[in-house]
Structure 1
Amino acid sequence: MTTPQRPVRRSLAARTAAFRERVDPARIGRRSVRRRAKGMTAADVAAALEDARFFARQDSGHEDAADDVRGLAELGEWERIAQLLAAGAPGTVYDPDADVVVQADLAAEAAARDAEPREAAGIAASADKLQALRDVTLEQTEPDKGDEAIRD
Structure 2
Amino acid sequence: MDAGTVARALEDARFDARQGSRHEHLADDTRGRVELAEWERIDRLRAAAAPGTVYDPDTDDVAQAEFAAEAAAAAAREAELREAARVTVRADELQALRELGTLEQTEPREGAKPLGTELTRRAGAYVQADVDTWLAHALAAHLGHYRDPAAREIAVGLLPPPLLAHAALLTELGRLVPAAGVVRLACAAGLATAVPEATADLAAFLTRATEPADTAGSPE
Place the TM-score, normalised by the shorter chain, in its bin.
0.5 to 0.7
2:18 counterpart (57, 66, 73): 57
CA distance in 2, matches of 1:126, 1:67: 38
Cα RMSD of the aligned pairs, angstroms, is 2.6
Please show how residues 61-140 of structure 1 align to structure 2 within 5 Å: 61-140=22-101
**C-alpha contact 2:57 2:63 (8 A) present in aligned 1:** yes
Offset from partner CA, 1:32-78 (integer Å, 9 cap, x none): xxxxxx2225xx64564344223312211112222333322220111
**C-alpha contact 1:45 1:81 (8 A) present in aligned 2:** yes
Identity of aligned residues (%): 53
Alpha-carbon shift at residue 99 of structure 1 (Å): 1.5
**C-alpha contact 2:3 2:46 (8 A) present in aligned 1:** no
Is the alpha carbon distance of 1:51 and 1:122 closer, same or farther for their aligned partners in structure 2, counting shifts above 3 Å? closer
Is the alpha carbon distance of 1:135 and 1:100 closer, same or farther for their aligned partners in structure 2, counting shifts above 3 Å? same
Structure number with higher relative contact order (C-alpha < 8 Å, ≥ 6 residues apart): 1
Q: If each structure's helix is expressed as a fraction of its own residues, which one has the higher value?
A: 2
AA aligned opposite 1:83: R
Query: What secondary structure is seen at the aligned counterpart in 1 of 2:62?
Result: helix
Offset from partner CA, 1:65-115 (integer Å, 9 cap, x none): 223333222201111102212322233221222212222233333344444
**C-alpha contact 1:60 1:66 (8 A) present in aligned 2:** yes
2:3 counterpart (40, 52, 57): 40
Q: Which runs of 5+ in 1 are unaligned?
A: 1-37, 142-152
Q: Which runs of 5+ in 2 are unaligned?
A: 103-220
CA distance in 2, matches of 1:138, 1:88: 70
AA aligned opposite 1:95: D
Aligned residue pairs total: 101
Is the alpha carbon distance of 1:117 and 1:59 closer, same or farther for their aligned partners in structure 2, counting shifts above 3 Å? closer
Q: TM-score, normalised by structure 2?
A: 0.38
